[in-house]
Amino acid sequence: MKIALVGVGKIARDQHIPSIAASPDWKLAATCSRQGSVEGIPAYTDLDEMMAAHPDISVISMCMPPVPRFDFARRAIAAGRHVMLEKPPGATLSECHALEDMARKAGVSLFATWHSREANRVAAARDWLADKTITRCHITWREDVRKWHPGQDWVFDPGGMGVFDPGINALSVMTKILPAPVHLLGAELSFPANRQTPIAAQLQFTDNVSADFDWRQEGPQTWDVEVWTEAGKLHLTHGGEHMTIDGVEAGADPVVPGEYPGLYAQMAQLVRAKEIDMDLSPLRHVADALMLGKRIETDAFDW
């Protein structure tokens, strides 16, 4: 199937373009971006112009930041194209619900992607926990914003989500593996004195579930999920790439290894089945944190 990329930035170059190139399901047929292009692929700066020039492109993958994404996705759906949304699927819950309504009326597929759910051991963790009694869960998601978003001020602007840009990855894993849903009880959010979004967050959920997000960690990065049960402790490390049960390696690799290759395989299935997957539970937890969170001012942040 022919697919187009809208937004050719860091995430597109690091993940989307290699995953499409390696997939048996997709052929990259065009790009639309103000700043980037792919050698040998028709490039456009206007979405409507691209769609008019390529009526045979049935799927469009949206890779730009969340704030401008709604209008691009709306126009693609109106043109009868299937749409794949980079995480988070939108800047607000309301616009995500609106896109789903539009897609259902248009009869096209729509996919809110959560790439961390496709890490190698996340499905195995979900399966192991399915019949267990969980006594505690703690998530530690600490990384260096300077490494992953160098100079990208939009992450600290309204709608950029701040530390919830990576933190939502942790929440996507949490909502995938826990056998019962939880909801937020409270949060402490640390905002740099000169920024509009938090750089760190401490979250407390029901059922003794907690999370620690921080965007200031230098050196080795930490993406861990620990779950204590009556049958032992499950530990996901490296964002879900590895899993241990009481310290012993466990779990099997998925059928399609790799986070973004897994997403593109799922999108192919959705398009063929004419289905929609708009699970918004990770974004809902972020919205709850921003509503319930206690604001704490911390040191100014500059690149």
Which residues are catalytically annotated? 87
DSSP 115: G
Cα(77)–Cα(60) distance, integer angstroms: 9
Q: 259 forms bridges with which residues in the sheet?
A: none
Structure tokens at 287: 């919205």
CB count in 10 Å sphere of residue 248:
8
For 1, residues 6+ apart whose C-beta sits below 8 A from its C-beta are: 25, 26, 27, 58, 59, 268, 271
Residue that is written with structure tokens 């860091």 in the block: 10
Q: Cα–Cα distance between 287 and 280 in angstroms, integer? A: 11
3-state helix, strand, coil in the chain (%, to 5): 35, 25, 35
Q: Which two tokens stand for residue 120?
A: 């190698």
* Gyration radius of the chain over CA positions: 19
Tokens of 208: 């003794």
CA separation (Å) from 201 to 28, 93, 115, 139? 38, 20, 21, 11
